[in-house]
């Protein structure tokens, strides 16, 4: 009964489109929202029109001075936007007045969640706050502005009608930090991926052990993990390859710090096709979690969104990251769902286990079952519906 859902206004820096990262997660979450009851108000970066939700109305608000974003003045520009956004509530309220929303949805990323909070209070309607990363700790701002940013985040999080955190570890951390209870909203699958049945892995007798990584190389921590996997495979002496799928070329990967003779570059595969591609071409999926000191705080509370589609393949997953990373803790709470390694010294034993076809099949089947229970599209939409009331 989607017609009972409130008229929902999304205000956020994360574009809502069928691509990757947070954009894809929002697209999947909202793809069942009824026509005429959803407006997307994107701030800063705008979505690709060809990848948008068909049933939603889209608006866009550009940020000023964007040429400074990737310059030596980037921190100054970010600090400027924190203050700039405070003066946009009246204009934004006027811009969306025709839609007459019943509720506002935002993501705690960038700056426009502050705008969403202000508009919700102006209109006296509920705010629903999704948090994927620990942005108050991660964002690079001048010290005084960062304190202001964190203060506003705390107030917006506390005042929101619902607080949807990406992991149970974030729920606990934010309850301790902000004194407000949240609910878990795991990254969800698309409807199409949710309908994929279990399939016994093909080519299980292939002499080459084929690893695959689907994601980006924007994180130096992920690149470090890929390099350590490559080194472990060299030392292990097994005939192997590392397939990489993402928005980068071999040259761009090299610039990012990853280069290997066993690397095979597959490019960016559309989200609706990546599961089938992995099923056909890989034996093991690699999920790196950053060991970098700059990422450690976020690693403890975020959730690796790759897990949602990885588990849909029915292939075994090797999770490599620090022992206190949320992705490691989550998998260890679900015995038999993945193989984990928390130090490079643990990689050889994991590789030995993954050479066994029967072990790979058991791990993949268990991961598939867990993923269907926790990441199915219907599960995610049910959490959203419950939060919206």
The pLDDT of residue 163: 99
Residue 19 has a pLDDT of 86
**Res 2: pLDDT:** 56
User: 2-185 and 193-375 share one CATH topology?
Assistant: yes
CA–CA separation, 328 vs 115, rounded Å? 35
What residues of the chain score a pLDDT lower than 50?
none
**Residue-level pLDDT at 21:** 84
Is 200 exposed, middle or buried (CB count within 10 Å of its CB: 0-12, 13-18, 19+)? exposed
Residue 377 has which token pair? 């599209």
Can you give the residue ranges of every domain in the chain?
2-185, 193-375
CB 146, CB 139: distance < 8 Å:
yes
Intra-chain end-to-end CA distance of the chain, in Å: 13
Determine the pLDDT at residue 205.
61
Please spell the DSSP secondary structure of 309-359, one letter per residue: HHGGGT--EEEES-TTSHHHHHHHTSTTS-EEESSGGGHHHHHHHHT-HHH
Whose CA is closest to 119, among 149, 95, 85, 90? 90
Return d(Cα 316, Cα 23) in angstroms, integer.
26
Q: Are 114 and 148 in contact (CB under 8 A)?
A: no
Q: ∠16-21-27 over CA atoms, to 5°?
A: 30
* SS3 at position 251: helix
Topology of domain 2-185, CATH: Rossmann fold (3.40.50)
> What residues does 286 pair with on adjacent strands?
318
Burial letters 304-338, b for 16+ CB under 10 A, else e: bbbbbbbbbbbbbbbbbbbeebbbbebbeeeeebb
CB 213 within 8 A of CB 226: yes
Q: Strands of 263-265's sheet, edge to edge?
A: 263-265, 240-245, 209-214, 284-288, 317-320, 339-341
For the domain 193-375, what is the CATH superfamily, name and number? Glycogen Phosphorylase B; (3.40.50.2000)
């Amino acid at each position: 009964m989607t017609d009972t859902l409130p008229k929902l206004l999304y205000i956020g820096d994360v574009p809502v489109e069928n691509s990757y990262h947070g954009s894809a997660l929002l697209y999947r979450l909202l793809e069942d929202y009824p026509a005429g009851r959803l407006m997307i108000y994107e701030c800063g970066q705008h979505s690709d029109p060809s990848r948008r939700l068909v049933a939603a109305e889209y608006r866009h608000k550009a940020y000023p001075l964007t040429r400074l974003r990737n310059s030596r003045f980037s921190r100054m520009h970010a600090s400027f936007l924190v203050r700039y956004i405070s003066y946009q509530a009246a204009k934004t309220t006027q811009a969306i007045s025709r839609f007459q929303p019943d509720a506002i949805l935002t993501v705690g990323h960038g700056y426009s969640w502050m705008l969403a909070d202000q508009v919700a209070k102006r209109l006296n309607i509920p705010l629903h706050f999704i948090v994927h990363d620990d942005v108050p700790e991660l964002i690079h701002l001048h010290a005084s502005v960062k304190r202001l940013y964190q203060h506003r985040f705390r107030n917006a999080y506390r005042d929101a009608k619902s607080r949807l955190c990406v992991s149970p570890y974030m729920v606990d951390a934010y309850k301790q930090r902000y004194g407000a209870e949240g609910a878990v909203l795991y990254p969800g699958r698309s409807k199409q991926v949710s309908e994929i049945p279990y399939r016994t892995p093909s080519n299980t007798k292939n002499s080459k052990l084929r690893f695959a990584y689907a994601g980006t190389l924007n994180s130096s921590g992920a690149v470090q993990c890929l390099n350590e996997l490559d080194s472990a495979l060299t030392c292990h002496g097994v005939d192997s390859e590392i397939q990489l799928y993402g928005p980068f070329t071999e040259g761009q990967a090299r610039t990012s710090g990853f280069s290997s003779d066993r690397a095979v570059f597959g490019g960016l595969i559309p989200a609706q096709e990546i599961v089938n591609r992995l099923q056909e071409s890989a034996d093991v999926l690699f999920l790196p979690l950053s060991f970098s000191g700059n990422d450690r705080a976020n690693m403890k509370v975020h959730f690796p969104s790759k897990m949602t589609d990885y588990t849909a393949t029915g292939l075994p997953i090797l999770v490599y990251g620090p022992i206190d990373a949320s992705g490691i803790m989550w998998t260890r709470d679900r015995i038999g769902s993945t193989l984990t390694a928390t130090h490079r010294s643990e990689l050889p034993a994991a590789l030995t286990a993954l050479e066994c076809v029967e072990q790979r099949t058991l791990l993949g089947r268990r991961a598939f079952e867990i993923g269907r229970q926790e990441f199915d599209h219907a599960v995610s939409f049910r959490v959203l519906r419950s939060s919206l009331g």
